């Protein structure tokens, strides 16, 4: 795959987390396949995390800083004209999902709802409580949420630890009705998923999972899991990556008794948001393939991640794992941003949120 270096003249200041300071935009260093370009969609979205698209084109963005934003591109120039705060003072409202005119927001232990939100962006309504039945643990407590093809809201519950004994209430993916009723556990053995999506043809669920720390720099790999049916167990905390017995918590559990990953990802790359590409802008070779935002390692001797990866499928099977966009991690260790989530826009462009830079980017394809 040929790459080109995207040199932009964007004079926007972004925080640098590690290493030397930079005077230029972090997008100056991003490389993409030939024909693609990356631009800033919104530059003032503090802590930008999970994204959801409204019926009228509003991009909703959750954070872990307490606020939820609405990005409005009123003039259709593919850059937000306004960044509106539609909720504040919440407990790590990372997850957002849109349904029937309402925005659902996931706090640590609660799901809230803002009704008729796109007609009330300038004067948002008071949140309606959907449910407060989830645990209140801060560790891995922030949530990604999304509505499935069955019109149920899917809500993960990460484990409150690096690695610990499984309980009934943690390491799971749950689903509820839109009104908060009919709580069900859909899958188990999931350490902490912060991104999932449904295959546009089969309707089957796929999700990213962040592996445990403090084994080694290279073990275990993070995972992309495929859930074709409810009731599967993916091994945590007993086994990782399909074959690796946990050094502390295996308890004699054979790894082949659990569902293995669809494909292993990089070790400690922190895969978060993922989406099947359902647009028409990108070349056909990208259609129905999986884009993953890798937030990047935090304790690896040599940092890794800080990029957008691509997992290719053939006949509903993951067959390759490759880098699509990189350059937020520089060779000298400077970090200019940390991708969190991806969102396919109606025109086929791909949005990328970055909680370190407080920005949302737009990746487009022109073929030039």
What digits encode the pLDDT tens for the residues 98-108?
999 999 999 99
* Domains of the chain by start residue, with CATH: 3-365 (2.120.10.30)
Residue among 368, 197, 367 at smallest CA distance from 282: 367
Share of the chain above pLDDT 90, in %: 89
Confidence of residue 13 (pLDDT cuts 50, 70, 90): very low
Q: What are phi and psi of 27, to 5 degrees?
A: -70, -15
pLDDT digits over 46-105, tens only? 999 999 999 999 999 999 999 999 999 999 999 999 999 999 999 999 999 999 999 999
Give the integer Cα–Cα distance in Å for 330 and 322: 18
pTM listed for this prediction: 0.92
Cα→Cα distances 313→126, 229, 285, 286, 320, Å: 43, 18, 10, 10, 7
- Which pLDDT value is given to residue 368? 67
Q: How far apart are CA 316 and CA 59, in angstroms?
A: 29
Angle 358-362-368 from CA coordinates, rounded to 5°: 145
Q: Which of 320, 303, 302 is nearest to 311 (CA)?
A: 320
- Tell me how crowded residue 288 is: count the other CB atoms within 10 A of its CB: 15
**Average confidence (pLDDT) over 239-245:** 95
> Is it the case that residue 11 has pLDDT exceeding 80?
no
pLDDT of residue 355: 98
Average pLDDT, the chain: 92
Cβ proximity of 94 and 105 under 8 Å:
no
């Amino acid at each position: 795959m040929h790459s080109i270096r995207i040199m932009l003249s964007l004079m926007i200041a972004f925080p640098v987390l590690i290493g030397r300071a930079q005077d230029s935009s972090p997008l100056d260093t991003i490389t993409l396949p030939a024909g693609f370009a990356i631009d800033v969609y919104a530059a003032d979205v503090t802590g930008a995390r999970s994204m959801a698209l409204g019926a009228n084109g509003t991009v909703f963005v959750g954070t872990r800083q307490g606020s939820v934003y609405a990005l409005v591109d009123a003039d259709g120039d593919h850059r937000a004209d306004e960044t509106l705060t539609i909720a504040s003072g919440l407990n790590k409202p990372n997850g957002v999902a849109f349904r029937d005119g309402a925005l659902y927001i996931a706090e640590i232990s609660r799901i809230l709802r803002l009704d008729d939100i796109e007609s009330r962006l300038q004067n948002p309504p008071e949140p309606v409580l959907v449910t407060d039945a989830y645990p209140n643990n801060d560790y891995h407590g922030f949530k990604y949420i999304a509505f499935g093809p069955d019109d149920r809201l899917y809500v993960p519950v990460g484990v409150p630890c690096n690695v610990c004994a499984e309980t009934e209430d943690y390491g799971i993916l749950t689903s509820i009705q839109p009104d908060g009723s009919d709580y069900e556990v859909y899958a188990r053995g999931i350490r902490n998923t912060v991104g999932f999506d449904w295959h546009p043809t089969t309707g089957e669920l796929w999700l990213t999972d962040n592996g445990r720390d403090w084994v080694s720099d290279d073990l275990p790999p993070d995972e992309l899991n495929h859930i074709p049916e409810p009731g599967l167990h993916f091994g945590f905390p007993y086994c990782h990556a399909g074959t690796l017995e946990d050094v502390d918590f295996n308890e004699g559990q054979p790894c082949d008794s659990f569902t293995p990953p669809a494909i292993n990802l990089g070790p400690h790359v922190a895969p978060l948001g993922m989406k099947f590409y359902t647009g028409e802008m990108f070349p056909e070779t990208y259609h129905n393939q999986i884009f993953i935002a890798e937030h990047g390692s935090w304790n690896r001797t040599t940092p890794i991640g800080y990029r957008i990866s691509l997992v290719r499928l053939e006949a509903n099977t993951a067959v390759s794992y490759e880098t699509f966009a990189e350059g937020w991690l520089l060779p000298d260790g400077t970090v200019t941003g940390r991708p969190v989530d991806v969102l396919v826009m109606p025109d086929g462009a791909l949005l990328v949120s970055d909680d370190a830079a407080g920005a949302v980017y737009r990746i487009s394809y022109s073929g030039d």
